Amino acid sequence: MTTVLIADDQPLQRFGFRMLLESQDDLTVLGEASNGGEAIRMTAELHPDVVLMDIRMPGMDGIEATRRIVASGDRTRVLILTTFDLDEYAHAGLRAGASGFLIKDAQPEDLLSGIRSVATGDAVVAPSLTRRLLDAYAHHLPAGSDTADVIPEADPRLSTLTEREREILTVIGKGWTNSEIAARLHLAESTVKTHVGRVLAKTGSRDRIQAVILAYDTKLVEPS
């Protein structure tokens, strides 16, 4: 059974999400939060598998709440909800440690599969879509952000990677799927999976999306 906490300041929206989730035999809603502070407190109390986190809420927003939940070391994973108008915040949410993001008016089956994917440790957003998001909005990062003037060789997260693993991280950042990596680098797909797993473990990346962001942060990949 996958447990979910819904964090959204709109009561009707929370009600709709609850109705959808509780129609599924394998999902249950532990509670509802109307702002980021409540989401943090309830996550610490209830330890849900997934927090369905809206970005814009009164008081503390979903990005800061995500950052604090992830920093707490709790096993809970966060699935960010955004709208087409707010896609520029998705990069910040992912950098805060979210395991993925969905458009708020996503089809019910996409929302359900996204929650299940996040609960099992997978990334919700396809690598190619993640790259398009980062390409579009990396230019909107503050000029003084910690991604500026980064030299890849100097980043300690890359220091333990072999040459092949660094190559794998680079193409993950470019949005290649495992099958594309296998075909283009002439590797067995099982070998690619092993390399990807080692890259995630060595760099401390929670999932593939975090690895994509690492590739951008360390300038292994540049926005196109």
Question: pLDDT at position 148, please?
Answer: 47
| pLDDT value at residue 20 | 95
* pLDDT for the residue numbered 184: 93
DSSP for 71-120, please give it: HTT-S-EEEEEE-GGGGGGHHHHHHTT-SEEEETT--HHHHHHHHHHHHT
**Position 93 pLDDT exceeds 80:** no
Q: How is residue 137 written in tokens?
A: 């909005």
Task: Read off the pLDDT of residues 16-64 as tens digits, 9 standing for 90 and up.
Answer: 999 999 999 999 999 999 999 999 999 999 999 999 999 888 889 999 9
Q: Is the pLDDT of residue 183 over 90?
A: yes
pLDDT of residue 101: 80
Asked if residue 33 lies in contact with residue 42, where contact means CB atoms within 8 angstroms, the answer is yes
Radius of gyration, alpha carbons of the chain? 18
pLDDT of residue 142: 47
Using CA atoms of 210, 212, 215, 220 in order, give the dihedral in degrees to the nearest 10. Answer: 180
Q: Does the pLDDT of residue 162 top 80, yes or no?
A: yes
How far apart, in whole angstroms, are the C-alpha atoms of residue 6 and residue 13? 10
DSSP single-letter state for residue 161: -
Contact (CB, 8 A) for 166 and 157:
no
Residues with Cβ < 8 Å from 37, sequence gap 6 or more? 59, 60, 65
Residue 195 has pLDDT above 80, yes or no: yes
Q: What order of strands is seen across the sheet that includes strand 27-33? A: 27-33, 2-7, 50-54, 77-82, 100-103
Report the percent of the chain where pLDDT is more than 70: 81
What's the angle, vertex CA 22, arms to CA 20 and CA 27, rounded to 5? 105
Statement: residue 191 has pLDDT above 50:
yes
Question: Given this model, what pLDDT does residue 133 score?
Answer: 62
Determine the average pLDDT of the residues in 196-220: 86
For position 143, what pLDDT does the model report? 45
| Residue in the structure block whose two tokens are 């609960």 | 119
What percent of the chain lies above the pLDDT cut of 90? 48
pLDDT confidence of residue 76 = 94
User: Mean pLDDT over all residues of the chain?
Assistant: 83
User: Binning pLDDT at 50, 70 and 90, where does residue 188 land?
Assistant: very high
